[in-house]
Amino acid sequence: MLRLETIICTFSVLSVAARADFKARNCSEVREACVTKGFGFAHVPLQEIPGEHLRVCPQGNTCCTQEMEDKFGQQSKEDFDNLIGETSHELRSTFVSRHQRFDEFFLELLENTERSLNEMFVRTYGKPYMQNSEVFENLFAELKRYYTGGNVNLEEMLNDFWSRLLERMFTLLNSQYIITEDYLECISKYTDQLKPFGDVPRKLKAQVTRAFIAARTFVQGLSVGREVAMRVSKVSSTPACTRALTKMLYCPFCQGMPAVKACKNYCLNVMKGCLANQADLDPEWNLYIDAMLLVAQRLEGPFNIESVMEPIDVKISEAIMNMQDNSAQVSYRVFQGCGQPKPAGMTRSARGVSDVFNARFRPYSPEERPTTAAGTSLDRLVVDIKEKLKLSKKFWSNLPEAMCVEDKVTAGNASDEECWNGHTKGSYFPEVQKDGLTNQLNNPEVGVDITRPDTFIRQQIMALRVMTNKLKNAYNGNDIYFQDSSDEGSGSGSGSGCTEVCPTDMDGATTEAPVVRADRSEPVGASAPLHAPSVALPTMLALSALALHRQWR
């Protein structure tokens, strides 16, 4: 009786084993999974077949035909590209949207400021302003041209604005004389000594240059970050990477286990091999983000373009008032240095007094100010972008971890025995490799040639390096200019071209770009620089200047 029970028990165990073996060899789950994923295979085996034809997946008994493995390879590449796109979507959209917001804000701020100044000056100064409004229009046109990437030297441009304004006002204040182009050229030589507008030009030049350098460089930085993120997220996978992805994502189908996901560490090794070059972008990316954060701090503080531009009409009017209050002393010193101009006729002299900027300026009350640019404030924009920039640090080195998401790619927290290890369902033992190209020499999943860095990625690294250097200079209030900025994805700028952080004078930031000559025609035979002191200045001028110093002040 006991022997009979033993036979029955043994038969039952063998029957269960046979049924289990039959189930493992059945490919019905694979057929269903392929249909669900949209594969239109001509033939999927009902049961396992010999797998000598396979080139990527294990060659034992399999549920895959050659056609299936080939299509799995194509799908693996597409899945990888889509996964990178999904993972980097927030980063890319952040740089796209914030670049647009900042750019719109700065352009609208310029337009609002120019419109406000024009309306106030028309109301306050009337005809004299309208007859000379092109001086102010040119100022804003050059500021906009600089911001949008033009090769404009801000310091020279602002000096030219004040020189032109001096010429117009001097002519109006001395309309009883004939003021020729040669005479105006002489006046311009003594602008720095005369200080007809008081200290306003010096202070405004320092504020405007720093603010515009910071604003333009920051927007260029957002543009570069946007381009790098978009380009790097579309880098094609190598054949070795595609092979490893196929093995990880679809070889479980061939083994009759379509629902089994990859082990987490297995996935990390595959992704670190496939994304080795992207990881090498990370050190330069982090330096770039740090530099962007530093300039963002400047935009919140001393280089805030909004706080500089909104009261610029008041500051320019203050300079005009100073010129009028000191017109007699200015004219006297000009006459001493440039000689007495010839008198004009009575008609011109008679109309001279009314054509001067003689109204006292009163700025609009706060409720009359134009609406805030882009419906927000610079401070709010900066607070927002700073948080986004901080979150984007270490993005590229963290990308493999972000790609190996639970359930979608990996088994997550499932038991080590319940995940795909590249060969079967079970534990994955190899060590996870470190980040970067040079650390993939012994990657067990992806064959990586560490002697051949990806040229395209290296170009993006260089673009970030160039931009980081510009940001460092902007942080110090200095401009920097690169002849070829095509790799940066932004327009060219003005500056010294220094490749390290340039020294800065906190009392007067300068832009050391090539000099942009004034539009005004030079008199024939003129050879001295525009602002060079004249060696022919009479000794009497110096004595007169000393004598009038107290009165002048």
415 vs 366, residue with greater confidence: 415
For residue 527, the model assigns a pLDDT of: 34
Examine the pLDDT at 507 and tell me if it is beyond 50. no
Examine the pLDDT at 540 and tell me if it is beyond 60. no
Query: What single-letter amino acid sits at 265?
Result: N
The answer to whether 457 and 487 are in contact (CB under 8 A) is: no
For residue 414, the model assigns a pLDDT of: 59
Would you say how long the chain is, in residues? 553
Closest by alpha carbon to 165, among 187, 143, 145?
187
Domain-located, residue 23: no
Percent of the chain with pLDDT over 70: 76
First-to-final CA distance of the chain: 128
Closest by alpha carbon to 337, among 171, 188, 552, 530?
188
Domain-located, residue 183: yes
Buried/exposed code over 462-490 (b: 16+ C-beta within 10 A; e: otherwise) = ebbebbbbbbbbbbbbbbbbbeebeebbb
Cα→Cα distances 241→54, 245, 262, 350, 532, Å: 17, 6, 16, 87, 65
Domain-located, residue 18: no
Q: How confident is the model at residue 41 (pLDDT cuts 50, 70, 90)?
A: confident
**Residue matched to tokens 């320019």:** 316
For residue 438, the model assigns a pLDDT of: 94
The C-alpha angle with vertex 242 and arms to 240 and 247, in degrees rounded to 5, equals: 95
Spatial distance between the Cα atoms of 440 and 426, rounded to a whole number of angstroms: 24
Examine the pLDDT at 74 and tell me if it is beyond 90. yes
Examine the pLDDT at 76 and tell me if it is beyond 70. yes
The answer to whether 201 and 158 are in contact (CB under 8 A) is: yes
Q: How confident is the model at residue 356 (pLDDT cuts 50, 70, 90)?
A: low
Q: How confident is the model at residue 282 (pLDDT cuts 50, 70, 90)?
A: very high
For residue 504, the model assigns a pLDDT of: 34
For residue 419, the model assigns a pLDDT of: 93
Examine the pLDDT at 128 and tell me if it is beyond 80. yes
Number of domain units in the chain: 1
Query: What single-letter amino acid sits at 135?
Result: V
Helix and strand numbers, DSSP H then E, in the chain = 23, 0
The answer to whether 262 and 439 are in contact (CB under 8 A) is: no
**Residue matched to tokens 């690294």:** 461
Tens of pLDDT, residues 256-267: 999 999 999 999
**Residue matched to tokens 């269960």:** 16
The sign one gets for the Cα dihedral 348, 350, 351, 356 is positive
The answer to whether 487 and 512 are in contact (CB under 8 A) is: no
CA dihedral 172, 175, 181, 186 (to 10 degrees): -80
Instruction: Over range 120-125, report the average pLDDT.
Output: 92
Domain-located, residue 30: no
Residue 115, classed as helix, strand or coil, is helix
Examine the pLDDT at 506 and tell me if it is beyond 80. no
The values of phi and psi at residue 108, to 5°, are -70, -35
Spatial distance between the Cα atoms of 4 and 15, rounded to a whole number of angstroms: 17
Residue 409, classed as helix, strand or coil, is coil
18 vs 221, residue with greater confidence: 221
What is the Cα Rg of the chain in Å?
A: 37
CA dihedral 537, 319, 157, 525 (to 10 degrees): -30
Domain-located, residue 77: yes
Instruction: Over range 74-98, report the average pLDDT.
Output: 95
Spatial distance between the Cα atoms of 538 and 219, rounded to a whole number of angstroms: 50
Contacts 24+ apart (CB under 8 A), 30-33: 30/63, 30/64, 30/253, 30/254, 30/256, 30/258, 32/258, 33/253, 33/258, 33/259
For residue 189, the model assigns a pLDDT of: 82
**Element (H or E) spanning 75, and its range?**
helix 66-125
Domain-located, residue 204: yes
Structure tokens at 393: 């640090």
Spatial distance between the Cα atoms of 340 and 78, rounded to a whole number of angstroms: 82
Task: Name the DSSP class of 434.
Answer: P
**Residue matched to tokens 């028309």:** 122
Structure tokens at 130: 């309208």
For residue 13, the model assigns a pLDDT of: 38
The answer to whether 472 and 291 are in contact (CB under 8 A) is: yes
Cα→Cα distances 180→187, 490, 535, Å: 11, 43, 21
Instruction: Over range 221-228, report the average pLDDT.
Output: 97
Instruction: Over range 275-287, report the average pLDDT.
Output: 96
Q: Helices in 372-486 by DSSP H: which ranges?
A: 378-391, 399-403, 455-475
Tens of pLDDT, residues 309-325: 999 999 999 999 999 99
Q: How confident is the model at residue 481 (pLDDT cuts 50, 70, 90)?
A: low
What is the CB-side half-sphere exposure of residue 463 using CA atoms within 13 A?
Answer: 25
Structure tokens at 260: 């089994």
pTM: 0.78
Closest by alpha carbon to 178, among 396, 358, 402, 347?
347
Spatial distance between the Cα atoms of 153 and 495, rounded to a whole number of angstroms: 7
Tens of pLDDT, residues 54-71: 999 998 899 999 999 999
Instruction: Over range 375-391, report the average pLDDT.
Output: 92
Which of 17-31, 208-222, 259-273, 395-409 is predicted least confidently?
17-31
The answer to whether 247 and 424 are in contact (CB under 8 A) is: no
Q: What is the 3-state secondary structure (H, E, C) of 319-339?
A: HHHHHHHCHHHHHHHHHHHHC
Cα→Cα distances 13→8, 19, 25, 263, 293, Å: 9, 10, 18, 31, 69
Buried/exposed code over 307-341 (b: 16+ C-beta within 10 A; e: otherwise) = ebbbebbebbbbbbbbbbebbebbbebbebbbeeb
Domain-located, residue 492: no
Domain-located, residue 435: yes
For residue 203, the model assigns a pLDDT of: 95
Could you list the residue range(s) of the whole structural domain that residue 185 is in?
Answer: 73-345+378-439
- The pLDDT mean for the chain works out to 81
